[in-house]
């Protein structure tokens, strides 16, 4: 006889409110139903009532973890409509901020995953390491979460001291190779909870169209930074880690390897950063838009973010801003990951996708 166990919307295993109804037979999960919409703030509608300066501040609050990525994508779409091109130094600063954000997001995810495994020591270690990244972000932008770095045609703040970032990259790489990667890959506490759990096969991943680390952990090597380079990613030399297993351990490995690649990109970007302006001349308060729709895609820590911005000539406010976030694409895959899994593994399986419901609901 099967019965239904609700998980959420307010559950200690979930970071954000959403509801997962699991149909179980004994301890085994047969199927799952997902309910979202608890975070629906109507941001896309609000964006139509904000002018081109205010809309950047609004879109920064779509998500508190990838706030830079959201404004970057929006600004790239708005730059297509205004015809502005950011100066080279601004492009490099965008790469550096994007990679710093990827670092803190992946380390945060590792901490949350460790907490759900019941590995509290690792959770504390991850968060201690994450504070190193947060210190650098605060030093550059003045804020820990909403950085307010992007503007149309450039960035707001310069990176004056590259040594500060380089020192953090050194320390982080050392911690990763010395502590985090060995413990997550060899410790019995971690491997017994991760290996072979929540498998998503390559065929299934392809048919569901998953993106980001979830796709790369299922053997699909897709990354917008390589395939459609934006900002200064075209000039960077890095590899896209792909693991074919498709289980929670593979997702952990992919994110750990991505942290190492991000460190590599940061080193290159900091050494190659050209001197010059960071924004177009002027006070940045007057822009003229052409009529049309522009689209921008960016690789966020969780996968591909797409913005589609429509504008009418002479208007101060957009006529439509549409956002597609990675979690919206990845979450249907959870249904197939939990089928056949043990009930106690479901919080970890859903967390392995790194869901972000504030992005998805908006």
Shortest spacing between CB 207 and another protein, in angstroms:
27
User: Shortest approach of another protein to residue 143 CB, angstroms?
Assistant: 9
Q: State the number of CA atoms in the 13 A half-sphere of 258 facing the CB.
A: 34
Smaller CB separation from another protein, 98 or 111? 111
Report in angstroms how near the CB of residue 181 gets to another protein at its nearest.
Answer: 20
Residue 42 or 314: which CB sits closer to another protein? 42
The encoded tokens of residue 97 equal: 């901020």
Q: How far is the CB of 6 from another protein (least distance, A)?
A: 8
Smaller CB separation from another protein, 63 or 338: 63
Nearer to another protein, 20 or 232 (CB): 20
Nearest-approach distance from CB 107 to another protein, in angstroms: 11
CB nearer another protein, residue 30 or residue 35: 35
Nearest to 342 by CA among 238, 175, 160, 193: 193
Q: Select 220 or 323, whichever has its Cβ closest to another protein.
A: 323
Question: How near is the Cβ of 244 to another protein at its closest, in Å?
Answer: 31
Residues forming the site for another protein (CB under 8 A)? 9-12, 15-17, 19, 35, 37-43, 45-46, 49, 57-58, 61-65, 67, 108, 111-112, 124, 127-128, 130-131, 134, 144-146, 356, 358, 361
Cβ nearer to another protein, comparing 134 with 337: 134
| Minimum distance from residue 19 beta carbon to another protein (Å) | 5
């Amino acid at each position: 006889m099967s019965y239904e166990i609700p998980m959420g919307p307010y559950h200690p295993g979930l970071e954000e409110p959403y509801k997962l109804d699991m149909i179980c037979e004994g301890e085994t999960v047969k199927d799952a139903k997902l309910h979202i919409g608890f975070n629906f703030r109507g941001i896309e509608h609000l964006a139509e009532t904000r002018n081109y300066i205010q809309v950047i501040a609004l879109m920064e609050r779509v998500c508190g973890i990838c706030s830079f990525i959201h404004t970057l994508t929006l600004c790239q779409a708005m730059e297509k409509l205004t015809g502005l091109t950011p100066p080279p130094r601004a492009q490099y600063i965008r790469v550096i901020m994007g990679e710093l954000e990827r670092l803190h997001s992946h380390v945060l995810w590792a901490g949350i995953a460790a907490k759900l495994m019941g590995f509290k020591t690792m959770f504390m270690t991850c968060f201690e390491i994450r504070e190193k990244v947060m210190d650098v972000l605060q030093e550059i932008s003045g804020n820990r979460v909403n950085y307010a770095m992007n503007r149309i045609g450039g960035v707001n703040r310069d990176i004056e001291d590259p040594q500060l970032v380089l020192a953090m990259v050194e320390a982080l790489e050392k911690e990763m190779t010395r502590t985090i990667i060995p413990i997550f890959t060899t410790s019995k506490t971690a491997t017994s909870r991760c290996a072979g759990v929540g498998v998503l096969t390559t065929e299934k991943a392809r048919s569901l169209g998953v993106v980001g680390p979830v796709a790369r952990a299922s053997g699909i090597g897709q990354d917008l930074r390589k395939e459609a380079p934006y900002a200064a990613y075209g000039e960077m030399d890095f590899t896209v880690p792909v693991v074919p297993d498709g289980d929670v351990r593979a997702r952990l490995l992919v994110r750990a390897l991505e942290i190492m690649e991000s460190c590599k990109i940061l080193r290159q970007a900091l050494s190659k950063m050209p001197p010059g302006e960071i924004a177009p001349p002027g006070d940045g308060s007057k822009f003229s838009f052409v009529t049309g729709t522009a689209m921008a895609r960016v690789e966020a820590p969780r996968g591909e973010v797409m913005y589609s911005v429509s504008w009418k000539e002479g208007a101060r406010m957009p006529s439509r801003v549409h956002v597609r976030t990675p979690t919206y694409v990845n979450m249907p895959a959870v249904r197939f990951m939990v089928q056949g899994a043990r009930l106690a593994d479901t919080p970890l399986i859903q967390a392995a996708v790194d869901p972000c419901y504030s992005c998805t609901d908006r």
